[in-house]
Amino acid sequence: MLSSMDNPTRSASGLEGPSGEHFSISEPPAQLRQPMHVPKRLLLGPGPANASPRVLQAGSLQLLGHLHPEFCQIMDEVRAGIKYALQTDSRWALAVSGTGHAAMEAALGNLLEDGERVLIASHGIWGQRASDIADRLGADVCIMPKDAGKYFSLCDIEKGLLENQPILFFITHGESSTGVLQPLDGIGELCHRDKIINRKSRIPSFYFDMTWLANYWGCDGEARRYHHTGPITGVYMLREGLAGLAEETLEKCWSRHAASAKRLHVGLQRLGLELFVQDEVARLPTVTTVCVPPDYAWKEVTDYLMTKHNIEISGGLGPTAGKVWRIGLMGYNSTAENVDKVLNALQDALTKCRHSKL
């Protein structure tokens, strides 16, 4: 993967190299001769969640070329869907060809130049990750910390901005490691606009270069040039996920997530469990953090749910490791039926996994 130097050298055109030598080829791996094992499971952790049948079906469609007009149209539809989901008119609305961490690195790498100051509001794993990424980019990283389970007030943020005078401010809206929903209202007015087109130095990554990506995604009005070969299947699936959202509408989707979260929170409290986020308005509707009571070993409970009920919930992460369980109700999985399933399973687990002393 890393360099051709690691590999025994050979011609791919046959069993004989250009100089006529023969090779001894290793046997095909036995484990690849077995069928792939993918059990069905209800994924109620902080992600991945189960995908809707519509999204999964898109995963089996035949490929198109990455610049075919039909694929460009699908990309346009994805852009429209992203703009709708995030309620933005930004010309930079596009999907990065990688996972969430890739998009975070793309955002920071495009905005920051060497030695520039970034202020990171850190109240969980995502602030930590952003700090790590920004440090590697050579930025001057200032961290404004907050205890796990709490959120930043507008006053906190204004103070941080005035004291540190950063060129960029980073804050996490849904801190899935603590279950906190950070309010964003008013923060935009405190900040500057983005600066990609005014950079003095080259963007350090070709793959994440937003000027190339914006061209490939048709954001700049110019003819699309070859940047990278887009992940066709992933874009199909994203398109169908966004189409599902457009069909449901944002309003109904938000209400559904709020209702499921409410039902879960009430149910957990009825089971005698304590929610980790004290302030009700700051509870993330997609990931709920629950305090592990002193007479339980957190992992015994998650293992029990997985083994006996085929349901995933997860433990804490970063500042909440060992302290909480995290229950996700995201997208397709955010239904009353799933809430009742996980509550019943938890009730069973709490009976079976209790220790008198821990």
Binding-site positions for substrate read: 326
For residues 11-38, one letter each, b for 16 or more C-beta atoms within 10 angstroms of the residue's C-beta and e for the rest, the string is eeeeeeeeeeeeeeeeeeeeeeeeeeee
Residues 248-287, mask of contacts with its own copies (x by CB under 8 A) = -xxx--xx-xx--x-------------------x---xx-
Site for its own copies in 189-248 (CB under 8 A): 191-194, 196, 202-207, 210, 226-234, 236-237, 239-240, 242-243, 245-247
Cβ atoms of 288 and 275 closer than 8 Å: yes
Separation between Cα atoms, residue 272 and residue 160, nearest integer Å: 38
Give the shortest CB-292-to-its own copies separation in angstroms. Answer: 19
Write phi, then psi, for 17 (nearest 5 degrees). Answer: -80, 170
The set of residues, in sequence order, having a beta carbon less than 8 Å from that of 317 and lying 6+ positions away, is: 46, 124, 125, 176, 177, 326
Q: Would you count residue 11 as binding its own copies (CB under 8 A)?
A: yes
Calculate ∠ Cα 173-175-177, nearest 5°.
170
Nearer to its own copies, 31 or 198 (CB): 31
Binding map of its own copies across residues 83-102, x = CB under 8 A, - = no contact: xx-xxx-x-xxxxxxxxxxx
| 294 lies in the site for its own copies, by CB under 8 A | no
Encoded one letter per residue, x for contact with its own copies by CB under 8 A and - for no contact, window 102-141 reads xx-xxx--xx-----------------x--xx-xxx----
Taking the complex as a whole, the smallest distance from the CB of residue 356 to its own copies amounts, in Å, to: 30
Binding site members: 326
Count of beta carbons in the 10 Å neighbourhood of residue 310: 13
Is the CB of 16 or the CB of 295 nearer to its own copies?
Answer: 16
Instruction: Output the smallest distance, CB 133 to its own copies, in A.
Output: 5
- Shortest CB 337 distance to its own copies, Å: 16
Q: Nearest approach, Cβ of 276 to its own copies (angstroms)?
A: 17
As a whole number of Å, the CA-based R_g of the chain is: 24
Closer residue to its own copies in complex, CB, 117/354: 117
The distance of closest approach from Cβ of residue 145 to its own copies in the complex, given in angstroms and rounded to an integer, is: 19
Tell me if 350 contacts its own copies by CB under 8 A. Answer: no
Residues 198, 221: Cα–Cα separation, whole Å: 19
Nearest approach, Cβ of residue 137 and its own copies (Å): 7
Cα separation, 71 vs 77, in Å, equals 10
If one asks whether residue 18 binds its own copies (CB under 8 A), the answer comes out as yes
Which segment (157-165, 182-190, 290-298, 345-353) binds its own copies by CB under 8 A?
182-190
Asked if 308 touches its own copies (CB under 8 A), the answer is no
Tokens 């923060």 belong to 187
- Inter-residue contact 276 to 289 (CB < 8 Å): yes
* 182, 283 contact by CB (below 8 A): no
36 scored as a contact of its own copies (CB under 8 A):
yes
Return the number of the residue (263 or 354) whose C-beta is nearest its own copies: 263
Burial group, residue 253, by CB count within 10 angstroms (0-12, 13-18, 19+):
middle
